[in-house]
């Protein structure tokens, strides 16, 4: 029953993200709205981590399973993609490096910030 309640909280926040996506005419995916809402709710302690922790861990655990359908779609559209495969590979390589650099930089900032808090 605990998992159903936790999943319900996550789904409710996702629904709010979907509603915001339709109400606000910005090119921001609904999932980003949902993550921002959940992050804000966790930071402000509106939602306690214990209220979504186990289900969140489960969803992260099964995340690779969610990529099967998109990967199948890519395989089926291979003939269409062949004509611009070089551009796709270059874009993929550049975006991978940028995301890794951004994630590393943010992680370092968080570690420094947490170190300053621990010294206080």
Domain membership of residue 3 as a residue range: 1-61
Note the pLDDT of residue 120: 65
Residue from 41, 51, 37, 39 nearest 5 by CA: 51
Distance CA(39)–CA(16), nearest Å, equals 13
Same domain, yes or no: 56 and 83? no
Same domain, yes or no: 5 and 48? yes
Q: What is the pLDDT of residues 42-84, one digit of tens each?
A: 999 999 999 999 999 999 999 988 888 888 888 888 888 888 9
Same domain, yes or no: 104 and 57? no
Q: In this structure, is residue 72 part of a structural domain? A: no
Residues with Cβ within 8 Å of 5's Cβ and at least 6 positions away in sequence, in order, are 51
Q: Report whether 16 contacts 33 (CB < 8 A).
A: yes
Same domain, yes or no: 88 and 53? no
Q: Report whether 55 contacts 10 (CB < 8 A).
A: yes
Note the pLDDT of residue 107: 94
Q: In this structure, is residue 90 part of a structural domain? A: yes
Query: Is the confidence at residue 35, as pLDDT, over 70?
Result: yes
Q: Report whether 17 contacts 30 (CB < 8 A).
A: yes
Of residues 116 and 99, which shows the higher confidence score?
Answer: 99
Same domain, yes or no: 51 and 3? yes
Provide the whole-model pTM: 0.64
Mean pLDDT across the chain, nearest whole number? 91
């Amino acid at each position: 029953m605990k998992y159903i309640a936790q999943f319900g909280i996550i789904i409710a926040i996702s629904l709010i993200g979907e509603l915001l996506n339709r109400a606000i005419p910005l090119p921001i995916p609904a999932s980003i709205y949902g993550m921002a809402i959940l992050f804000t709710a966790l930071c402000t302690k509106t939602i306690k981590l214990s209220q979504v922790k186990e289900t969140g861990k489960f969803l992260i655990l099964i995340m690779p399973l969610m990529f099967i359908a998109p990967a199948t779609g890519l395989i089926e559209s291979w003939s269409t993609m062949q004509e611009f495969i070089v551009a796709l590979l270059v874009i993929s390589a550049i975006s991978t490096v940028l995301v890794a650099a951004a994630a590393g930089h943010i992680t370092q900032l968080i570690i420094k910030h947490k170190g300053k808090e621990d010294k206080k």
